[in-house]
Structure 1
């Protein structure tokens, strides 16, 4: 009330009788006081609105519109996992994660990083990385066993050389010796180093002498024996021998390696009488009593995972395809027949499976079942792509079979045409070593 009266008295114009010789001075003083009061009232007005809009100072933090959370662990809704960090700073709608380890459901692996900055995170969502047809090279495979499995290779052709390349990127396999009666150490080194399909070897290879190579700092013995029984595998400590010459493909012939001290022999080709295994399909039926086994053919390794999924989900009544898949999936024995064509491509092949299924289903249903399997129990063995791909896109792909969703078609609810790609060299070589690792683990448990 006093302030209001004072304001009215100040703002009232002076009367005519007060305009004397000193009236001019009094008017100036009055005018200055009025300005000061206006400014004070303006500050009060701003203060009242500030309290209304932003509340008390206890509920707000001012630091250039940013906050610093000193945290040992923070749950991220973006990555869907716990983020272990020392400092989490948000500033201008961006944040910096100084993390020891970040588990991301998008990348599917632990990401070691010092700093990861995501700007404008509230303006866009993070989308999963779209899978490409050609698989990104896998990191060095970690062994599930207690030590390395010592392996020998007989026959240094395409599969023999690529098995050795794959082995150099794994920590569970140690190739200790190579036998080939037609190639000396110098030519072995040359053929191993240069490959027109898969490119030059990324590691190092040296010729120490006529009987020794050094690959990535590890010595590999070189032998040149025609008779497998004369190869001294036990002298090199080779427990498992990969028979990749293409000559000794029966149990009787492959057993010659056992005379030289080998404990197990894996034939890298179909066999007329040896048990055949496809990793991801029937390797669990392996018994430690089996000394000679076959890794089947590269075609069987492509077809079997695909046929397994389709048969388990929808039931295959009969189909047209070429391979001995009946030995891997006995329930399909006699149901799949067909033919194969040789085409002028240096690498990569394709399976064309035409089959009649028991349970009616749309092509979308079949695609969904295959995709689910490729992301679950058959991950790393069976792949899935919906991209426009050609054979060269799969060179160097370590999976056994990559289903091409766009290439297939459903002729009816019970008649399907399915197409799946595979690198018949690189993918198959990976499975040979996977089978050896499985055999080694089973042997260790027993």
Structure 2
């Protein structure tokens, strides 16, 4: 029997999650039966069918009186502004996939549970570790899920990209410190032209005309997953005028003398044996567009590994900040629900 899902917030990640699930090998095991999104139904259907970044939806999309029809399966669409306005219990759901980004504190997230949602999977880190039952970077700590959790976070796209690389380098060489610079594609909290809309004054500027530094919680997110690095990680973020695919430049110092070949060798081994399907490796002369719709959490660009002396290094990672992250949400969902049903004595293949 398929598990029943609802998506709350049908923006970039909500729509990518639906598509990633549709394209995944788990497609027959999960069914999205509802979407809650304040936008009108015609716009929801249109943006499901056509996407400027990921192309046409690989299936049939139509509208009904109260929702969508995707490949013949009906999805109820509601337009509520808050969790209490949706009767989640009546939908007989297994999980609500929260993609609006509006709810980060436990008191806010529990509003879904009180309104009848049995479990919630977040498309963001939550306000803090204490606000969720677990924060998962798939491939690093997903096996710690017991299945009993009610609120699980899939961390962030940058955390999913950075943590596997930092983990293997720390294990191999010992990290003294790391400084991460995210070169992130434009996001919908930026305007196309200058305008009053944000307390961060830099985000009032046109996303398409400038390279714009913004704040980031990446260092805290990494320390949540790799507590042994607490106090030794720092991060900054710069938005760049591209529509998708981001990069991470990681400058790091290690505790013993090593070479570029040693760094690359460890990362190549991790991509091929430890994290296949999650971490990829390339030596080709890439541009960011090469990784549009790439499902990996990160791709190591070995041609860009640099050294200054024998303890200071720089590593470059590419990642599709939409599709890679949505693909990890599908992986996390499947593992979480497999653990839950296994605990109840039900086998999931």
Please indicate, yes or no, whether the TM-score normalized by the shorter chain is above 0.5: yes
**Aligned with 1:207 (options 63, 66, 69):** 63
| In structure 1, C-alpha distance between the alignment counterparts of 2:4 and 2:172, rounded to whole Å | 39
Query: What's the counterpart of residue 196 of structure 1?
Result: 52
| In structure 2, C-alpha distance between the alignment counterparts of 1:173 and 1:355, rounded to whole Å | 41
Deviations 1:425-444 (A, max 9, x none): 00000111111111101111
| In structure 2, C-alpha distance between the alignment counterparts of 1:364 and 1:333, rounded to whole Å | 27
| In structure 1, C-alpha distance between the alignment counterparts of 2:302 and 2:272, rounded to whole Å | 15
Query: What's the counterpart of residue 116 of structure 1?
Result: none
DSSP 3-state at the match of 2:20: helix
Structure 1 unaligned residues grouped into runs of 5+: 1-146
Which stretch of structure 1 is more off in the superposition, 405-414 or 339-348? Answer: 405-414
Q: TM-score, normalised by structure 1?
A: 0.65
Paired residues of 1:282 and 1:329 also in contact (CA < 8 A):
no
| In structure 1, C-alpha distance between the alignment counterparts of 2:306 and 2:89, rounded to whole Å | 53
**Aligned with 2:28 (options 171, 174, 177):** 171
Once the 2 structures are TM-superposed, how far is the Cα of residue 332 of structure 1 from its aligned partner?
1.4
Query: What's the counterpart of residue 292 of structure 1?
Result: 151
| In structure 1, C-alpha distance between the alignment counterparts of 2:115 and 2:73, rounded to whole Å | 23
CA separation of 1:443 and 1:415: change in aligned 2, threshold 3 A: same
Paired residues of 1:231 and 1:257 also in contact (CA < 8 A):
no
Paired residues of 2:89 and 2:116 also in contact (CA < 8 A):
yes
Structure 2 unaligned residues grouped into runs of 5+: 182-217, 344-349
DSSP 3-state at the match of 2:16: helix
| In structure 2, C-alpha distance between the alignment counterparts of 1:216 and 1:260, rounded to whole Å | 29
Paired residues of 2:223 and 2:230 also in contact (CA < 8 A):
yes
**Aligned with 1:180 (options 34, 37, 48):** 37
Q: CA RMSD in A?
A: 1.3
Output aligned runs, 1:277-316, within 5 Å: 277-316=136-175
Q: Which has the larger radius of gyration?
A: 1
Once the 2 structures are TM-superposed, how far is the Cα of residue 189 of structure 1 from its aligned partner?
0.4
1:251 aligns with 2:106: yes
**Aligned with 1:343 (options 240, 248, 251):** 240
| In structure 2, C-alpha distance between the alignment counterparts of 1:272 and 1:227, rounded to whole Å | 18
**Aligned with 2:231 (options 328, 334, 344):** 334
Query: What's the counterpart of residue 280 of structure 2?
Result: 383
Query: What's the counterpart of residue 312 of structure 2?
Result: 415
Once the 2 structures are TM-superposed, how far is the Cα of residue 283 of structure 1 from its aligned partner?
1.5
RCO higher in structure (CA 8 A, sep ≥6):
2
| In structure 2, C-alpha distance between the alignment counterparts of 1:424 and 1:203, rounded to whole Å | 23
Once the 2 structures are TM-superposed, how far is the Cα of residue 320 of structure 1 from its aligned partner?
0.5
Query: What's the counterpart of residue 266 of structure 1?
Result: 121
DSSP 3-state at the match of 1:321: strand
| In structure 1, C-alpha distance between the alignment counterparts of 2:285 and 2:2, rounded to whole Å | 40
Once the 2 structures are TM-superposed, how far is the Cα of residue 385 of structure 1 from its aligned partner?
0.4
Once the 2 structures are TM-superposed, how far is the Cα of residue 420 of structure 1 from its aligned partner?
0.3
Once the 2 structures are TM-superposed, how far is the Cα of residue 171 of structure 1 from its aligned partner?
2.6
Output aligned runs, 1:31-430, within 5 Å: 147-169=1-23, 170-181=27-38, 183-209=39-65, 211-273=66-128, 274=132, 275-321=134-180, 323=218, 324-430=221-327
Paired residues of 1:229 and 1:258 also in contact (CA < 8 A):
no
| In structure 2, C-alpha distance between the alignment counterparts of 1:235 and 1:377, rounded to whole Å | 42
Once the 2 structures are TM-superposed, how far is the Cα of residue 247 of structure 1 from its aligned partner?
0.5
| In structure 2, C-alpha distance between the alignment counterparts of 1:370 and 1:172, rounded to whole Å | 33
Once the 2 structures are TM-superposed, how far is the Cα of residue 159 of structure 1 from its aligned partner?
0.3
Deviations 1:144-163 (A, max 9, x none): xxx43321100010000110
Paired residues of 1:167 and 1:175 also in contact (CA < 8 A):
no
Once the 2 structures are TM-superposed, how far is the Cα of residue 179 of structure 1 from its aligned partner?
0.1
Which stretch of structure 1 is more off in the superposition, 356-365 or 382-391? Answer: 356-365
Which stretch of structure 1 is more off in the superposition, 231-240 or 369-378? Answer: 231-240
Paired residues of 1:403 and 1:420 also in contact (CA < 8 A):
yes
